[in-house]
Amino acid sequence: MDDILIAPSILSADFSRLGEEAQRIEHAGADWLHLDVMDGHFVPPITFGAQMVKDLRTQTGLFFDVHLMSERPERHIEEFLSAGADMITMHIEAIAGDCLRQAIKKIHDAGKKAALSVKPGTPIEAVYPYLDALDMVLVMTVEPGFGGQAFMADVLPKASALRAEATHRELTMIIQVDGGISEKTIGQAAQAGANCFVAGSAIFHSDDAEGAITKLRSIAANI
């Protein structure tokens, strides 16, 4: 598969030295930096806000993939765009209809990319009405909120169905998977049609981040 994107999740980094951690994985060959923003309502944990994204923006040139796990994400779009987000992902469970269409337009008007995410229990068809306006769909392979969960292979048919739908519509669609991605699971996700992979501990907890990224990319590319 071509155009494989590896997006290490900052959630698994050492929070006492986030700038150094971002630079480390940039030098190791990461394509994107995945930033999980959790509000304590949509998901139980609270992580960080736009100020941390803004501060990190001064430390690395990586593409910032901001995943808003928050209620009413439309309230926070402008501040994350101003902070340096290159893509903003919202959850279909938290926003839909005209409000979602307006949020996507606001992101695109700022020259940035817009994406939607689905939880494991949400049918992939929920995003279909918006596909023509999206740059990416994130299929969660764990329940959002906590790192270190086991990979849920039973959600992969959603990625396959999404890839088929995008192909049918002749859309260039990035399909991202997030949760439990490792050398043992990335091949399954790539086989299902994903081409962007969020990996946390598999990269940040590795003694050889460059080797880990290279190996993940190689496995996904050779499916």
The 10s digit of each residue's pLDDT in 166-222 is 999 999 999 999 999 999 999 999 999 999 999 999 999 999 999 999 999 999 999
| CB of 210 closer than 8 Å to CB of 190 | no
pLDDT classification of 165: cutoffs 50, 70, 90: very high
User: What tokens does 194 get?
Assistant: 């994903």
At residue 223, the pLDDT reads 87
If 0-12 CB within 10 Å is exposed, 13-18 middle and 19+ buried, where does residue 147 land?
A: middle
pLDDT band at 125; cut points 50, 70, 90: very high
Q: Looking at 36, 39, 65, 135, which residue is catalytic?
A: 36
Q: CB-hemisphere CA count at 13 Å for 129?
A: 9
The yes-or-no answer on residue 3 being catalytic is no
Rg (CA), the chain: 16
pTM of the model: 0.96
Residues 6+ apart with CB under 8 A from 26: 33, 60, 61, 62
Q: Is the pLDDT of residue 144 over 90?
A: no
Catalytic residue among 31, 65, 135, 178: 178
Q: Please confirm, yes or no, whether 178 is among the known catalytic residues.
A: yes
Phi-psi domain of 81 (left: phi exceeds 0; alpha: psi -120 through 50; beta: other): alpha
Dist. CA 29–CA 51, nearest whole Å: 25
- How does pLDDT run across 61-111, given as a tens digit for each residue? 999 999 999 999 999 999 999 999 999 999 999 999 999 999 999 999 999
Domain count of the chain? 1
Query: CATH number for the domain including 179?
Result: 3.20.20.70
Q: What is the pLDDT of residue 45?
A: 87
Range of 47's domain? Answer: 5-221
